[in-house]
Amino acid sequence: MTRSGAWPGMTAPDSAAVTLGVASLVSVVFTVTDGDPWQLVEMPARAVAIAVVLGVLACLGGLLERVLLVRAVGGAFLLAALVMFGELVFGTDWIGGAASTLSLWAGLGMGLLAAGLAPRDI
């Protein structure tokens, strides 16, 4: 197994998982921003909780080379994105985010699934 990821000593898929986990953790800063130009993603309190928990789990999955954990977190992000989509369709307030939250989590979910499903011999 080659260890040619962006993070030293890690495989590329595990580096990707850690990077996406860090991205989720960084995204919580937008909970303190308000409006243009700095509120890039809508991050109410429940969204922050989701982002922190899943972000930590993604980082752990990459650092500990736990492929199943990375896949599970990817699936969880996609489920969260689906819930956000349901909020937009039905006008409910389960999480309280916006389409920006949906877009971010859909991307993180797809990315983590891809990292979790990537061949380990690349």
Partner 1 sequence: MSQVANAASRSADATVTRRGGIAVVRVGVALLWIQNVAWKVPPDFGENSRGGLYNWTRWAVDREVFAPWAWFVEHVVLPNFVLFGWLTLMVETSLGAFLLIGLATRFWALVGFAQTIVITLSVLHAPNEWHWSYFLMLLTHVALFVTAAGRCYGIDGLLRPAWLRSASPVARLLVRVS
Residues at the site binding partner 1, with contacts judged by CB under 8 A? 6, 12-13, 16, 19-20, 23, 39-42, 88-89, 91, 98-100, 102-104, 106-108, 110-111, 114-115, 118-119, 122
Closer of 57 and 116 to partner 1 (Cβ): 116
Min separation Cβ 103 and partner 1, Å: 4
Closer of 37 and 68 to partner 1 (Cβ): 37
Peptide bond into 13 cis (omega under 30): no
Q: How far apart are the C-alpha atoms of 8 and 104, rounded to whole Å?
A: 26
Min separation Cβ 56 and partner 1, Å: 19
Decide: 30 and 40 in contact? Cβ < 8 Å.
yes
Closer of 32 and 99 to partner 1 (Cβ): 99
